[in-house]
């Protein structure tokens, strides 16, 4: 019995040692298991103002421009303006030698005067029944042809004086006095109206329905990066370019100080809508699959998938249109390693609104 008692004591000692080791190793096992949990960072959605906008680019162009050219042949006698000159509507810009044109106008005038006298004489003779009505009609037709030729000659003579069709600035001058010009290639000046300018931008097909909702248009150029110009969507082509599937849209901008120059590269922002107190999350927190956009929230140290609808993106944050109430703890870092219903280890909770 003494031997059995000793064996029982030894067995109890062994069992106690094994139990001690199991209890002692339990925290280490728990720590090892916790190291296999995804380490994440959480953040609550932030409420802020979200601006819906289209950001486009284009080139600055004059609100209207025209190539001023010669409509008659001759030597360029005088050039009265140079590049950069401000001109009024109908101001004289250049004069073409009109000697030959003046002679043609005089000949046409003499022919018309002669035809007019003959017609008057034929009418008097008709009153005396000395000529037929047909002779009078022929004289009248000859007079009308001569009158038309005389008017055309006077018009050609007026073309020798080159005038501005509208007020603006001479941006190019191509010829000097003495040059021979003709109506085929006689471009003399480029005239531009710079009191207003336009920027032509190309809007993607999917964004064309949003043009009707545009509230404001803002324009910036590289030359003045700290200055914004307010414009207005004035017109569009009403037809898409088949090659690019885009719609040409013109934004008019007042330019009284003429700081905007044709040819400048411009960035255009079309303000579509502005939403107050909209929920936003860091864009990096949002995941997508074939079912749509979603995020992971933490509930009781477990990950919960929440489907969402997203809106505009600004400053690396995306508007959440639906799916969230605003009080959820959203995983913003480490979400790509999380599974639905799986446990997570929270590293720390970021302040509301930070990345």
Residue 152 lies in a domain: yes
Kindly state whether residues 185 and 88 are assigned to the same domain. yes
Kindly state whether residues 164 and 108 are assigned to the same domain. yes
Kindly state whether residues 145 and 253 are assigned to the same domain. no
Which CATH number characterizes residue 93's domain? 2.40.50.100
Residue 106 lies in a domain: yes
d(CA 53, CA 269): 7
Residue 126 lies in a domain: yes
Q: Among 166, 190, 214, where does a domain finish?
A: 190
Kindly state whether residues 84 and 119 are assigned to the same domain. yes
Kindly state whether residues 222 and 118 are assigned to the same domain. no
d(CA 284, CA 316): 8
pLDDT, mean of residues 343-349:
78
d(CA 171, CA 254): 19
> Could you tell me if 312 and 53 are in contact, meaning their C-beta atoms sit under 8 angstroms apart?
yes
**DSSP character at residue 177:** T
> Could you tell me if 331 and 296 are in contact, meaning their C-beta atoms sit under 8 angstroms apart?
yes
Each residue's pLDDT tens digit, 155-193: 999 999 999 999 999 999 998 998 888 876 678 999 999
Percent of the chain with pLDDT over 70: 87
> Could you tell me if 346 and 57 are in contact, meaning their C-beta atoms sit under 8 angstroms apart?
no
Q: Could you tell me the pLDDT band of residue 24, with boundaries at 50, 70 and 90?
A: low
Beta bridge partner(s), residue 54:
270
Q: Residue 110: enclosing H or E segment and its boundaries?
A: helix 99-127
d(CA 284, CA 297): 14
Kindly state whether residues 241 and 213 are assigned to the same domain. yes
**DSSP character at residue 291:** T
Which CATH number characterizes residue 271's domain? 2.40.30.170
Residue 12 lies in a domain: no
Kindly state whether residues 308 and 244 are assigned to the same domain. no
Residue 221 lies in a domain: yes
Which of 12-26, 77-91, 181-195 shows the highest mean pLDDT? 77-91
Residue 298 lies in a domain: yes
Kindly state whether residues 269 and 319 are assigned to the same domain. no
Residue 16 lies in a domain: no
Name the 3-class secondary structure at 12.
helix
Residue 13 lies in a domain: no
* pLDDT value at 235 more than 60: yes
Kindly state whether residues 263 and 218 are assigned to the same domain. yes
Task: Please report the DSSP string for 56-86 in residue order.
Answer: EEEEEEEEEEEEEE-SS-EEEEEE---TT-E
Q: Among 127, 159, 190, where does a domain finish?
A: 190
d(CA 20, CA 315): 57
> Could you tell me if 340 and 291 are in contact, meaning their C-beta atoms sit under 8 angstroms apart?
no
Each residue's pLDDT tens digit, 131-146: 888 888 888 999 999 9
Q: Among 136, 170, 190, where does a domain finish?
A: 190
Task: Judge if pTM exceeds 0.85.
Answer: no
344 is in which domain, residue-wise?
39-50+276-349
Q: What pLDDT does residue 353 have?
A: 47
Kindly state whether residues 143 and 86 are assigned to the same domain. yes
Q: What is the mean pLDDT of the chain?
A: 87
Q: Could you tell me the pLDDT band of residue 282, with boundaries at 50, 70 and 90?
A: very high
Kindly state whether residues 76 and 177 are assigned to the same domain. yes
Kindly state whether residues 178 and 84 are assigned to the same domain. yes
> Domain tally for the chain?
3
């Amino acid at each position: 019995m003494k031997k059995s008692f000793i064996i029982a004591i030894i067995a109890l000692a062994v069992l106690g040692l094994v139990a001690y080791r199991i209890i002692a190793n339990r925290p280490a096992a728990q720590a090892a298991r916790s190291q296999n949990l995804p380490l994440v960072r959480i953040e609550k959605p932030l409420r802020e103002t979200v601006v819906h906008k289209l950001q486009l680019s284009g080139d600055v162009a004059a609100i209207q421009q025209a190539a001023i050219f010669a409509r008659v042949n001759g030597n360029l006698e005088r050039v009265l303006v140079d590049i950069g000159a401000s001109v009024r509507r109908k101001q004289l810009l250049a004069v073409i030698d009109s000697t030959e044109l003046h002679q043609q106008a005089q000949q046409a005038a003499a022919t018309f005067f002669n035809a007019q006298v003959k017609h008057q004489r034929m009418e008097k003779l008709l009153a005396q029944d000395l000529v037929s009505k047909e002779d009078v009609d022929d004289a009248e037709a000859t007079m009308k042809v001569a009158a038309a030729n005389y008017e055309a000659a006077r018009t050609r003579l007026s073309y020798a004086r080159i005038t501005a069709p509208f007020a603006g600035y001479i941006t190019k001058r191509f010829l000097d006095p003495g040059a021979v010009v003709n109506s085929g290639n006689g471009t003399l000046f480029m005239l531009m109206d710079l009191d207003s300018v336009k920027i032509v931008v190309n809007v993607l097909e999917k964004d064309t329905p949003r043009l009707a909702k545009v509230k404001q248009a803002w324009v910036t150029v590289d030359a003045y990066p700290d200055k914004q110009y307010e414009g207005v969507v004035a017109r569009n082509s009403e037809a898409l370019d088949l090659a690019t599937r885009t719609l040409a849209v013109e934004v008019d901008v007042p330019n009284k100080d003429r700081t905007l120059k044709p040819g400048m590269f411009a960035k255009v922002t079309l303000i579509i809508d502005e939403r107050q107190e909209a929920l936003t999350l860091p864009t990096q927190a949002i995941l997508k699959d074939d079912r749509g956009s979603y995020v992971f929230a933490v509930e009781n140290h477990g990950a919960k998938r929440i489907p969402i609808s997203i809106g505009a993106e600004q400053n690396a944050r995306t508007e959440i249109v639906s799916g969230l109430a605003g009080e959820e703890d959203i995983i913003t870092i480490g979400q790509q390693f999380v599974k639905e219903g799986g446990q997570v280890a929270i590293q720390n909770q970021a302040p509301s609104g930070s990345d």
